[in-house]
Amino acid sequence: MTTSNVAVNLQSKRVLPALSGLTNREKDVLSGILDGLSNKEIAREHGITERTVKEYVGTLLHKFEAKDRISLLLRLGEFSHLKDAL
């Protein structure tokens, strides 16, 4: 197993359990983030306030141990196929 395969394997063990523990609304928000939507766009799409979206983004950042949206996307980057699982 190459070093990169080990890294991907270790990353998947952290990401997959976190995905299974997401609420439906967290999945909605994460899907919007993966689509490149702004908080306002995600809020409109799901009929919630932008402030609520910000709360969910914060929860997602915490669950995936990311400091910002870019870090979150990088953590999920190797798993772009996971969008279909949401």
Looking at residue 20, its pLDDT comes to: 82
pLDDT bucket at 8, cuts 50 / 70 / 90: very low
30 Cβ partners below 8 Å, 6+ apart? 22, 60, 86
pLDDT bucket at 14, cuts 50 / 70 / 90: low
For 63, counting Cβ atoms within 10 Å of its Cβ (0-12 exposed, 13-18 middle, 19+ buried), the class is middle
Token pair 């995600």 is found at 42
What phi and psi, each to the nearest 5 degrees, are found at residue 55?
A: -65, -45
N- to C-terminal Cα distance for the chain?
29
Looking at residue 79, its pLDDT comes to: 56
More confident position, 75 or 80: 75
Cβ(15)–Cβ(79) below 8 Å: yes
